[in-house]
Chain A
């Protein structure tokens, strides 16, 4: 391979000083997505303070997030199941970085939580709360496999969004 590869690396200063010019564009990149049948009902369930799953009678899986079809059996799924709002931690992380790569002083604790009432391994993504403010505190209070409980927004504040659950906290 040729050892002299092409490409001109810029430094931050090249842009700051105006040696290199840029153009900027901001567009209105917005969408209003149709939730459809399965997610529509799921969001209604959240507003009512419930976590809903769907059952496929053929493979017997109870899945969350719900879908109107079983992707394994490739058939319409059969019934709605009201799940518990408790679960077990499948995995978690302690994040000091925001979506835009800026740094945080207090961490966010995202987790995959296997929901009780659904099939084993049926997790959803959500946040953990009341687990500490520092890495050390979080690592001391959270373990994979630990049982957790949803903390809901008060009924009148719920909007039919996944954020109607504020977070999951360790079962006391």
Chain B
């Protein structure tokens, strides 16, 4: 119970705009096989399983039903969390820390391509009495937030466009990424307006794929053949999704989650603590808003820094070197699992073309997308 928790296995499928070659079960099975191979174990060695999913993202009432088979978890303790990958990571982490479940599997996937009208599903998360009757495209929530963030922070639209260009370019060196592209900030600025100031190339298009991670308690690490990546802390905070009472300019949930995660991981100065950060960029402006909330940039500074190249792959602190959601694809609840994977690969020295020298500590942050004000922060390290 007092020991650390580490990631000892990671499996995944490539992320692609469509995945007609495999059902969701087959995608998850592929990721699970890879994860077990990576760790050198089988499902019988696992004590508990956690999956993250939402009914309406898959089109099934009670998605939990369709989780155990492809993980090898039949008749084992399995739970589905209606939350994002970092909440799932948090639950898996807590299970290990109880001392009752030394080895825990975490799974997340996206079959976003199977959702015919994603905007309707997104709209279904809006308040039924006060917001839905307006019948606006739900992107309006992000548009309102972006406008306020630009106003409060003094960030320019070009700086936001730099985020999109950076992440899509980073994705060119990630074979897993669904939407690598060599776009310029100007192209982003000229893309079709969706909910101004939000534009099309600010928005991460959806992709399909699956992730499986294996977590283990420090005292059983000898069982695994992979190099452990320690989860020093994982925290999450839920703020209200009520549009009427929120702070539109700030990501308060990220500030609070970071405070808790940094305290638990002993991080005193966030700016110098990390070798990489995978920060939610479901919309390009969110990366900047989150960087400030996470203390990786001063208030109103993130835009200037990204324009200067501080957060490029070759910059002082590479942010979303994986390509982020903008480059890899928006994976619903599994966005942070893509970030988590990048953290694991980088800290193990397995990131190939994208390898950032000797990375020792990484940060992953998440946001559950419109209309939520919920997100998490995880600190990873190598010993």
A and B touch in the complex (CB under 8 A): yes
Spell out A's residues near B (CB within 8 Å).
Answer: 23, 25, 27-39, 67-69, 71-72, 74
Say if the beta carbon of B21 comes within 8 Å of chain A.
yes
Q: Is the Cβ of A23 less than 8 Å from the Cβ of B133?
A: yes
Out of B72, B121, B133, name the residue touching A71 (CB < 8 Å). Answer: B72
**Residues of A close to B357: CB separation below 8 A:** none
- 20 cross-chain CB contacts under 8 A: A23-B132, A25-B128, A25-B132, A25-B133, A27-B117, A27-B124, A29-B120, A31-B116, A33-B59, A34-B22, A35-B23, A36-B23, A37-B21, A37-B26, A39-B23, A67-B25, A67-B69, A68-B29, A69-B25, A74-B42
Bound: A69/B115 CA distance, A: 25
**Residues of A close to B128: CB separation below 8 A:** 23, 25
Q: Beyond A25-B128, A37-B22, A69-B70: 19 further Cβ-contacts under 8 Å? A: A23-B129, A23-B133, A27-B117, A27-B120, A27-B121, A29-B117, A30-B116, A30-B117, A33-B114, A34-B21, A34-B111, A36-B23, A36-B24, A38-B25, A67-B69, A69-B26, A69-B69, A74-B36, A74-B43
* Chain B residues with a Cβ closer than 8 Å to the other chain, count: 33
**Residues of B close to A34: CB separation below 8 A:** 19-24, 111, 113-114
Q: Is the Cβ of A33 less than 8 Å from the Cβ of B124?
A: no
State how many angstroms separate the Cβ of A68 from the closest Cβ of chain B: 6
Bound: A36/B23 CA distance, A: 4
Q: Is the Cβ of B120 less than 8 Å from the Cβ of A28?
A: yes
Q: Is the Cβ of A31 less than 8 Å from the Cβ of B59?
A: yes
Q: Which 7 A-B pairs have the closest CB atoms?
A: A36-B23, A31-B59, A74-B72, A71-B69, A27-B120, A28-B117, A30-B116
Most B C-beta atoms less than 10 A away, residue of A23, A27, A35: A27
Q: Is the Cβ of A69 less than 8 Å from the Cβ of B29?
A: yes
Q: With A27-B124, A69-B29, A71-B74 known to touch, is A33 a contact of B21 (CB < 8 Å)?
A: no
State how many angstroms separate the Cβ of B340 from the closest Cβ of chain A: 23
Closest to A68 in B: B26
**Residues of A close to B248: CB separation below 8 A:** none
Out of A32, A37, A68, name the residue touching B116 (CB < 8 Å). Answer: A32
Bound: A33/B22 CA distance, A: 10
Bound: A38/B25 CA distance, A: 10
Spell out B's residues near A (CB within 8 Å).
Answer: 19-26, 29, 36, 42-43, 56, 59, 68-70, 72, 74, 111, 113-117, 120-121, 123-124, 128-129, 132-133
Q: Is the Cβ of B117 less than 8 Å from the Cβ of A38?
A: no
Bound: A68/B156 CA distance, A: 51
Closest to A36 in B: B23
Bound: A37/B20 CA distance, A: 9
**Residues of B close to A39: CB separation below 8 A:** 23
Out of B25, B69, B116, B120, name the residue touching A36 (CB < 8 Å). Answer: B25
Q: Is the Cβ of B72 less than 8 Å from the Cβ of A37?
A: no
**Residues of A close to B115: CB separation below 8 A:** 31
Q: Is the Cβ of B114 less than 8 Å from the Cβ of A36?
A: no
State how many angstroms separate the Cβ of A84 from the closest Cβ of chain B: 25
**Residues of A close to B22: CB separation below 8 A:** 34, 36-37
